Amino acid sequence: MSANTTVDLQQVSATSLLRFATAGSVDDGKSTLVGRLLHDSKSVLTDQLEAVEHASRSRGQDAPDLALLTDGLRAEREQGITIDVAYRYFATARRRFILADTPGHVQYTRNMVTGASTAELAVVLVDARNGVVEQTRRHAAVAALLRVPHVVLAVNKMDLVDWSEPVFAAIAEEFTAYAASLGVPDVTSIPISALAGDNVVEPSANMDWYGGPTLLEHLETIPVGSDPSDEAARLPVQYVIRPQTEQFRDYRGYAGQIASGVLRVGEPVTVLPSGHTSTIAGIDLLGEPVDVAWAPQSVAVRLADDIDIARGDLIAPTAQAPAAVKDVEATVCHLNERELRVGDRVLLKHTTRTVKAIVKDITHRLDIDTLDKQERPGSLKVNDIGRVVLRTAEPLALDAYAVSRRTGSFLLIDAADGTTLTAGLVGEAFSGGAAHGM
Amino acid sequence: MSDARGVITAVETAETLENPYTLSHLDALESEAVHIFREVAGEFERPVLLFSGGKDSIVMLHLALKAFRPAPVPFTLLHVDTGHNFPEVIEYRDRTVEAHGLRLVVASVQEYIDGGRLRERPDGTRNPLQTVPLLEAIENGRFDAVFGGGRRDEEKARAKERVFSLRDEFGAWDPRRQRPELWQLYNGRHAPGEHVRVFPLSNWTELDVWQYILRERIELPEIYFAHEREVFSRNGMWLAPGEWGGPKEGEAVERRMVRYRTVGDMSCTGAVESSAATVPEVITEVAASRLTERGATRADDKMSEAAMEDRKREGYF
């Protein structure tokens, strides 16, 4: 796009938003792929490219190192590694994208978990020469664990295997079978060369045997979001809006972002954990009254009855209300250098509710590469994935993570200094194969 | 302007017809930002919103007003005033505060310089001098959450910033101490003396901000639109002359058609040549631009590869 190109407003008002994550290491060409996506979709601007070229030259490199586009911190640039999740933004005529670019090293499982937690799609990158390796299986397992709805296997460096269809087909078959055994519902495999750009944005002239979409085409057309009409509605109350002005003397709006499903005026609802019932008298969508609202809209709900509701309560349709429980079984990923031990007293943050909790048991630790279980490890270390039993001081209205990522997830927090210790997923880890079930 | 709005409405309607329960990208970003405002209102004692009269802080305030409707915004505004202001922006700021019945605290860099507590830099730039007045205003106001308009697309150190960014008693940002942020669960716990910077626009781009301004019909200070102004060229940027050090010898003042993409300290915020006089024209220009807004208009970010990271570590936004 040159500076004097006129841009159609329709083109820039892309209407849907896709959050996706990339997993892989520099060796797989991930930085090159991300750089290629940004560059070929015209998202790298001249001053950014100049800065990268300048920095690359001062490091004695001939070609601009596109990894420098994403490695934002001084320590990362100095050590040539990616420490943290970097968020990247780009848009095409069809869609706006938020890319969580996560480092793939073994010690950074927590970063992959973080990036995958909000992603609707994960791109797992492999080197066509090496095929599916331990790291690939780890990336697939994390995507399955976090219930990322769509997974793309990008088989990179096809130029180094003579653009061979059988090589691609074998890798795609092995990966798809493994992902399916973990319960990943949707895998699409795409042969690419990030270095030359084949099948990233533009179709490859070297692989006429491939009839599928390029990576960007796939990202542009994959359906986003779940269908809220299939889900049980959940409104965690964030804040009670009480204007107490002359005009709105009796207004009381329970404000929150709908976590799942559809809410309608007139619907009978139950408030948890109290169990009180009422009817939705009105829904205000940022000040405008509406009859229907759905996830993930932020709304304020008014009820027909004057009942005691505060931050941390959950409003749900009476017909689909969850049970409020104090015993929680969950799969967790431990995020902090401080170990999580049986007997630890922590805070548990679930939606808008934070309660005290005790770690009653750590039933096993899962090796994310081999899926082998270690029974009763006693503690979990940073980047460990395991299964825990918790007891909370007050009841929580939980859903299984498999049913709702939003109301089935929680954090464990150090009560003393507020550190985020652990990410929790209520219920079973994987939906798939008995051999791997956790 | 009505044409452009018509186009956006048409596109949104087309998508709505396929599935009644979808959200446009602007609706999704708006809902996310409102969720962040309400989380802070629910969990913190004394939040404050940084308001400069720049477009990002204006959009932030617009979102805050919507988040708590029909109640007033439950927090104070804070402006760190460098003293090198565009008069149009200060006029806009005061008018907005008045119109919405808000409370504004001003931390003045000029007063710090006059009182001998800060020294003018040799280059005359005052943006880096904002840190101390900001931190002291936070301390004096006992503010525990500070909303900033920072976006992750602005700069590569910001690309790794959290939505809830924990700061120690010196306001310092330690990238290694940042908490992992998963799902929509924001952890705002902090020790006494610490505070949390909160960035509701983290996931917005410059283009999103402009599209939202168009959709919501948000009024902006006039300097964001093309106007004729006396400017001189320095380091490839058009700066407005003033007592803060310009033009120097050899820098010629001329009249040009310009507009501002960012609003900061007048001494280091450059204008871009532009004929974009309306919001749709600005959107067209931004979409076609080959420079980031900071690269085009901020001298202070050109200082070094890690200029922004260093300032963030010291307690800057």
Q: Is B8 a residue whose pLDDT tops 50?
A: no
Helix B2-18 × helix B206-216 angle, to 10° = 100
Residue A2 lies in a domain: no
Residue A46 belongs to a domain with what CATH number?
3.40.50.300
Among the partner residues B69, B185, B288, nearest to A1 by beta-carbon distance: B288
Q: Enumerate the residues of chain B whose CB falls inside 8 A of the CB of residue A262.
A: 21
> Hey, is the C-beta of A408 within 8 angstroms of any chain B C-beta?
no
Residue A74 lies in a domain: yes
Nearest CA in chain A to B8: A13
Nearest CA in chain B to A96: B25
Q: Is A352 in contact with B28 (Cβ distance < 8 A)?
A: no
CA distance A39 to chain B (A): 12
Query: Which is higher by pLDDT, A181 or B296?
Result: A181
Mean pLDDT of B125-152: 89
Write down the pLDDT at residue A26. 61
Q: What is the pLDDT of residues B11-49, one digit of tens each?
A: 444 444 467 888 899 999 999 999 999 999 999 999 999
Element (H or E) spanning B190, and its range? none
Q: What are the distances in angstroms from CA A156 to CA A160, A171, A211?
A: 9, 11, 17
Q: What is the pLDDT of residues A56-99, one digit of tens each?
A: 777 776 666 666 666 555 566 555 555 678 888 888 888 999 99
Residue A431 lies in a domain: no
B289-307 burial, b at 16+ Cβ within 10 Å, e below that, comes to bbbbbbbbbbbbbbbebbb
> Hey, is the C-beta of B301 within 8 angstroms of any chain A C-beta?
no
Cα dihedral: B294, B296, B297, B298 (round 10): 50
Same domain, A246 and A179: no
CA distance B220 to chain A (A): 20
Write down the pLDDT at residue B237. 80
Residue B104 belongs to a domain with what CATH number?
3.40.50.620
B196-218 burial, b at 16+ Cβ within 10 Å, e below that, comes to bbbbbbbbbbbbbbbbbbbbeeb
Q: Is B288 in contact with A5 (Cβ distance < 8 A)?
A: yes
Residue A44 lies in a domain: yes
Query: Which is higher by pLDDT, A37 or A215?
Result: A215
Q: What is the ipTM of this complex?
A: 0.91
Same domain, A366 and A403: yes
Same domain, A198 and A247: no
A166-176 burial, b at 16+ Cβ within 10 Å, e below that, comes to ebbeebbebbb
Same domain, A334 and A390: yes
Q: Enumerate the residues of chain A whose CB falls inside 8 A of the CB of residue B189.
A: 347, 413, 417-418
Interface with B, mutate which of A15, A76, A90, A346 (most B CBs under 10 A): A15
Same domain, A158 and A20: yes
Instruction: In whole angstroms, give the CA distance from residue B88 to residue B109.
Output: 19
Same domain, B67 and B136: yes
> Hey, is the C-beta of A144 within 8 angstroms of any chain B C-beta?
no
Q: Is A3 in contact with B284 (Cβ distance < 8 A)?
A: no
Same domain, B175 and B227: no
Query: Which is higher by pLDDT, A57 or B10?
Result: A57
Contacting A residues, span 49-68, partner chain B, CB-CB under 8 Å: 51, 55
Residue A301 and residue A280 in contact, taking contact as beta carbons nearer than 8 Å: yes
Residue A245 lies in a domain: yes
Same domain, A309 and A391: no
Q: Is A47 in contact with B292 (Cβ distance < 8 A)?
A: yes
Write down the pLDDT at residue B222. 92
Write down the pLDDT at residue B19. 72
Among the partner residues B176, B183, B295, nearest to A409 by beta-carbon distance: B183
At residue A273's C-alpha, the angle toward residues A267 and A276, to 5°, is 45
Q: Is A291 a residue whose pLDDT tops 70?
A: yes
> Hey, is the C-beta of B183 within 8 angstroms of any chain A C-beta?
yes
Residue B118 lies in a domain: yes
B260-274 burial, b at 16+ Cβ within 10 Å, e below that, comes to bbbbbbbbbbbbbeb
Residue with tokens 């300290």: B265
Same domain, A277 and A338: no
- What's the structural domain count of chain B? 2
Spatial neighbors of A111 by CB under 8 A, at least 6 apart, are A84, A85, A102, A103, B180
Q: What is the pLDDT of residues B43-87, one digit of tens each?
A: 999 999 999 999 999 999 999 999 999 999 999 999 998 888 888
Query: Which is higher by pLDDT, B231 or A265?
Result: A265
Which of the 8 DSSP states describes residue A234?
A: B
Residue B41 lies in a domain: yes
Write down the pLDDT at residue A326. 97
Write down the pLDDT at residue A434. 38
Q: Is A411 in contact with B208 (Cβ distance < 8 A)?
A: no
- What's the structural domain count of chain A? 3
Q: What is the pLDDT of residues B161-181, one digit of tens each?
A: 899 999 988 888 877 778 899
> Hey, is the C-beta of A163 within 8 angstroms of any chain B C-beta?
no
The amino acid occupying position B126 is R
Contacting A residues, span 206-265, partner chain B, CB-CB under 8 Å: 225, 227-229, 238-239, 241-245, 247-248, 251, 255-257, 262
Q: Is B235 a residue whose pLDDT tops 80?
A: no
Q: Is A159 a residue whose pLDDT tops 80?
A: yes
**Residue A89 — left, alpha, or beta (φ > 0 → left; ψ -120 to 50 → alpha)?**
beta
Residue A432 lies in a domain: no
Interface with B, mutate which of A230, A234, A238 (most B CBs under 10 A): A238
> Hey, is the C-beta of B5 within 8 angstroms of any chain A C-beta?
no
Token code pair at residue A115: 């990036």
Mean pLDDT of A356-370: 93
Same domain, B273 and B173: no
Same domain, B166 and B295: no
Same domain, A236 and A298: yes
Q: What are the distances in angstroms from CA A237 to CA A215, A254, A300, B38, B264?
A: 39, 6, 9, 10, 37
> Hey, is the C-beta of B1 within 8 angstroms of any chain A C-beta?
no
Q: Enumerate the residues of chain A whose CB falls inside 8 A of the CB of residue B22.
A: 16, 225
Instruction: In whole angstroms, give the CA distance from residue A84 to residue A114.
Output: 10
Same domain, A93 and A199: yes
Q: Enumerate the residues of chain A whose CB falls inside 8 A of the CB of residue B30.
A: 286, 298
Write down the pLDDT at residue A433. 47
Tell me if residue A88 falls in helix, strand or coil: strand
Same domain, A213 and A244: no
Q: What is the pLDDT of residues B92-128, one digit of tens each?
A: 999 999 999 999 999 988 888 888 888 888 777 777 7
> Hey, is the C-beta of A17 within 8 angstroms of any chain B C-beta?
yes
Q: Is A16 in contact with B211 (Cβ distance < 8 A)?
A: no
Nearest CA in chain B to A10: B7
Same domain, B90 and B142: yes
Q: Is A325 a residue whose pLDDT tops 70?
A: yes
Q: Tell me the β-bridge partners of B251.
A: none
- Under the banding of pLDDT at 50, 70 and 90, the label for residue A111 is confident
Residue B15 lies in a domain: no
Residue A4 lies in a domain: no
Instruction: In whole angstroms, give the CA distance from residue A203 to residue A218.
Output: 12
Same domain, A201 and A270: no
- Under the banding of pLDDT at 50, 70 and 90, the label for residue A3 is very low
Same domain, B189 and B253: no
Chain center to CA of A296? 15
Q: What is the extent of the structural domain holding A159?
A: 9-221
Q: Enumerate the residues of chain B whose CB falls inside 8 A of the CB of residue A411.
A: 182, 185, 187
Mean pLDDT of B282-310: 64
Residue with tokens 């940002």: B173
Residues in chain A: 438
Q: Is A110 in contact with B180 (Cβ distance < 8 A)?
A: yes
Among the partner residues A297, A410, A419, nearest to B179 by beta-carbon distance: A419
Chain center to CA of A202? 27
CA distance B83 to chain A (A): 29
Residue B32 lies in a domain: yes
Residue B108 lies in a domain: yes
Nearest CA in chain A to B7: A10
Mean pLDDT of chain A: 88
A255-273 burial, b at 16+ Cβ within 10 Å, e below that, comes to bbbbbbbbbebebebbbbb
> Hey, is the C-beta of B38 within 8 angstroms of any chain A C-beta?
yes
Q: What is the extent of the structural domain holding B115?
A: 24-207+307-313
Q: Is A245 in contact with B205 (Cβ distance < 8 A)?
A: no
Torsions phi, psi for A281 (to 5 deg): -90, -30
Residue B240 and residue B230 in contact, taking contact as beta carbons nearer than 8 Å: yes
Q: Which of A292, A320, A348 is the last residue of a domain?
A: A320
Instruction: In whole angstroms, give the CA distance from residue A225 to residue B27.
Output: 13
Q: Enumerate the residues of chain A whose CB falls inside 8 A of the CB of residue B4.
A: 9
Among the partner residues B21, B295, B306, nearest to A45 by beta-carbon distance: B295
Q: What are the distances in angstroms from CA A178 to CA A117, A118, A385?
A: 21, 23, 19
Same domain, B200 and B54: yes
Residue B68 lies in a domain: yes
Write down the pLDDT at residue A27. 73
> What count of other Cβ atoms lies within 10 Å of the Cβ of residue A304?
13
Write down the pLDDT at residue A123. 96
Contacting B residues, span 76-135, partner chain A, CB-CB under 8 Å: none
Token code pair at residue B263: 């609003």
Query: Which is higher by pLDDT, A421 or A437?
Result: A421
The amino acid occupying position A220 is E
Token code pair at residue A376: 């009763």
Instruction: In whole angstroms, give the CA distance from residue A403 to residue A121.
Output: 17
Residue A438 lies in a domain: no
Q: Enumerate the residues of chain B whose CB falls inside 8 A of the CB of residue A73.
A: 157, 160, 175, 309
Same domain, B40 and B151: yes
DSSP per residue over B247-292, as a string?
A: S-TT---EEEEEEESS---TTTBPEEE----SHHHHHHHHHH-SS-
Token code pair at residue A413: 């927090």
